[in-house]
Amino acid sequence: MLRTAICDLFGIKYPIIQGGMAHVATAELVSAVSNAGGLGIIGAGASEPDWVREQIHRTREMTDKPFGVNILLISPFAKQVIEVVLEEKVAVVTTGAGNPGPLVPGFKEAGIKVMPVVASIALARRLERAGVDAFVAEGMESGGEIGQITTMALVPQVVDCVKVPVVAAGGFADGRGLVAALALGAQGVQMGTRFVCTDECIAHPAYKQAMVEASDRATIITGQSTGYPMRCLENKLTRAFIEKEKEDISMEEIMEFGVGKVRLGLIEGDLEWGTLLAGQICGMIKDIRPVKAIIDDMVASAEAIISRLAKDTTGG
DSSP 8-state symbol, 96: E
The reply to whether 181 sits near a copy of itself by the rule CB under 8 A is: yes
The answer to whether 170 contacts a copy of itself (rule: CB under 8 A) is: yes
**Among 2, 136, 233, 264, which residue sits at the site for a copy of itself (rule: CB under 8 A)?**
2
Nearer CB in complex with a copy of itself: 87/287: 287
139 binds a copy of itself (CB under 8 A): yes
Cβ-based nearer residue to a copy of itself, 28 or 128: 128
Ranges of H-type helices in the chain = 5-10, 27-35, 49-62, 78-88, 104-109, 121-129, 151-161, 175-183, 193-196, 205-213, 236-246, 251-258, 261-266, 291-315
Residue 293: CA count within 13 A, CB half-sphere:
8
State how far the Cα of 93 lies from the Cα of 52, in Å rounded to an integer. 13
Q: Does 306 bind a copy of itself (CB under 8 A)?
A: yes
Residues in CB range of 93: below 8 A, 6 or more apart:
68, 69, 70, 71, 85, 100, 107, 112, 113, 114, 115
Residue whose C-alpha is closest to residue 235's, from 251, 213, 255? 213
Which member of 86, 152, 202, 254 binds a copy of itself (CB under 8 A)?
152
String of contacts with a copy of itself for each residue 202-241, x by CB under 8 A: -------------xxx------------------------
Q: Do 98 and 73 form a contact (C-beta atoms < 8 A)? A: yes
Q: Binding pattern to a copy of itself, positions 3-42, x when CB under 8 A?
A: xx--------------------------------------
Nearest approach, Cβ of residue 12 and a copy of itself (Å):
14
Binding segment for a copy of itself (CB under 8 A), chosen from 24-32, 87-95, 177-185, 202-210, is 177-185
Nearer to a copy of itself, 121 or 264 (CB): 121
> Is 138 one of the binding residues for a copy of itself (CB under 8 A)?
no
